[in-house]
Structure 1
Amino acid sequence: MLQLMDGWEHTPAFVVGPALDIMAGNSLATALHSGFDRFDNLARMVFVDPAGREFYQEWERAAHSCVAEIRAAYGHDPESARIAELVAELSAQSDEFAGIWKMHEVKSKSQEGKHLKHPEVGDLHIKFAAFTVNGAPHQQLVVYQAEPVSPTAVAFETLRGMAAEPKQAQAPGPVADLAAKE
């Protein structure tokens, strides 16, 4: 999977687990999220990292989406220690997370558009798609795309030039080893 993502030089791509832990990402995904303290968990990045409110231009939509995705994963695995740990952590650190969690919204990732703002390359209007990873239950490959010949495509090229060597994200807690699934 990592080898496949690394071949996508113009497309940020990463794999998330049920608790939205980032299990692996290509160098462009890492560069895209470089304004965050850590590129390790999407929900933590939205609710706890100060960069989240600037990066996600539609922050409230991103917040509701993260919580609804965690709820959906929790419905598939209500005994998940990792999801319970994340919910407890974020509930303690963010009143907004706790309030949205109590709403019981459920939604899985799909195909949508996002408006992001990177601290170095500015506004990004992306489309994304999430794909289930066969052989790795409840893991998803998330792929961001820019319209061809758009300001976002130009920004992705700038980020590509800034990108470090591809590396696997370090996610806390017990997550499945993506490499073992290949």
Structure 2
Amino acid sequence: MTDVRVREATPTDADAIAAVHAAAIRELGSGDYDDRQRRAWLANVHPERYPIEETDAGIHVLVAERDDRLVGFGWLDRNSSGRDESVGEIVAVYVRPDAVREGVGREILERLEGVARDAGLESIVLVASKHAIDFYRRQGYEGDETVVLEMTDDVSLAALRMRKRLSSP
């Protein structure tokens, strides 16, 4: 495996982030969700959707590169939005299908958890798609409850809300 470099996303990464996001949904979600569900999920993938320039708002978007190619991204929201102020949320961790199981997702997640720890957060929550549940379990997350994500008025996805208590470095 070639070394992966994780860095803060810049506005010029938005198209590549959307491409990684879409590829992961198309290929990795195919075993867990039907075509209609994946199409509805993909309808939410747009380059302008990623809050890359909102670090002052407690948002951190990281990208992973290998051989000058973006192979993954992750998104942390440090701010409470109806949550306890000591809890952050991992909004996304996605990896290109051809880079899965090579440590890319783990590296992104560990970096986001480090940002959360540095900000004084005590735990992290996230909502995992069916495909990602085992990955997050291997990283120490525990399932809280099954949830339904409404993608459109008539299409939803089953997912699992998960939580991890952060330890000091």
Fold agreement, TM-score > 0.5: no
- TM score, norm. by length of structure 2: 0.31
Structure with more contact order per residue of length (Cα contacts < 8 Å, sep ≥ 6): 1
More helix by share: 1
More strand by share: 2
